[in-house]
Amino acid sequence: MHEGTLALGDIGPFDLQATVESGQSYLWDRDDGRMYEGEGTSAGEAWYVTVVRPETEWALEDTHSGPEVVRVRQTSDSLQWEATFDADRTLRHRLRLADDLPAIRAATADEPLLGAAFDRYWGMRLVRDPPFETLISFICSAQMRVGRIFEMQRALADAFGESVTFDGDRYYAYPGPDALADATEAQLRDLGLGYRAPYVKRSAEMVAGGEAHPAEATDLAYEDARDSLTQFVGVGEKVADCVALFSLGFLEAVPLDTWIQSTIEEYFPDCDRGSYAETSRAIRQRLGDEYAGYAQTYLFHHLRNGGT
């Protein structure tokens, strides 16, 4: 068992529950099994656990080959973790612990609604999840409630993921491209994916067959990256923006989901330009260009939890 502690004094403002339960990542589970039961459910100092493949996140180094388990919880003054490997760098990377939150907030728009969102969830970070996992989980997110999206990813991992034991318990890694490409549409539908089942299978086949990989968009200019990501089946502009923002590090990406669209109607009506691309540009500029995606994520979480 590896373990470690990250002092909040070094990291800066951080909110673990908001970060992993706000609907940007569907790859973490609360250890008490009460993942995503709403705001009122106190996460307290609950542990959150996920299975990672360090070699896919650290392509340049690290020789780990199999899946590894890491769990983390937030205490009054630190982030505490336990894992099957040395998870320090992985956590810093995936939870974007190096982000300078005060500087990011200062660089976004001085709007009352946004200020309320920042105040309410101050410390929430964007995540940096692996590209394939993000691609598939957001294909699944279409017309789905956040709580059910978590369930679907859990079902996918349980059905097709590689297992690994940690501290006496069995965990399942997120299935890779090959596993999902080999799954039948019927199997995926049985997990409750509905019409998203063939999308998941076909996109997995594209990656497994070497035809394309979501990570390839990383080096493109933002809008080119978004366009490139829509080549995957089941990926339109909104899901492409989610992959760009929550995985590839395009912090200016603003996924135009139903919540943000209604927010635009109510608070920023002049930003509604008809098309996705033009409205996207307008709201991005309004929220603060380079960190507009951070602003979007705070707004989304705030509004979805009843904020006005």
Task: Provide the binding-site residues for DNA, judged by CB under 7 A.
Answer: 22-24, 141-146, 148-149, 189, 192-196, 199, 230, 232-240, 242, 255, 257-260, 274-275, 296-297, 300, 304
Nearer to DNA, 8 or 144 (CB): 144
Nearer to DNA, 80 or 230 (CB): 230
CB of 121 vs DNA, minimal distance in Å? 12
| Secondary structure E strands in the chain | 2-7, 29-30, 48-52, 68-74, 78-83, 163-166, 169-172
CB of 139 vs DNA, minimal distance in Å? 7
CB of 33 vs DNA, minimal distance in Å? 15
Check if the beta carbon of residue 16 is closer than 8 Å to that of residue 47: no
CB of 227 vs DNA, minimal distance in Å? 12
Nearer to DNA, 69 or 200 (CB): 200
CB of 72 vs DNA, minimal distance in Å? 20
- Please give the structure tokens belonging to residue 246: 């929550």
For residue 1, how many other CB atoms are within 10 A of its CB? 7
Residue type, 151: E
Rounded CA separation 299/305 (Å): 10
Check if the beta carbon of residue 19 is closer than 8 Å to that of residue 124: yes
Nearer to DNA, 14 or 199 (CB): 199
Cβ neighbours of residue 60 closer than 8 Å, sequence gap 6 or more: none
Nearer to DNA, 104 or 188 (CB): 188
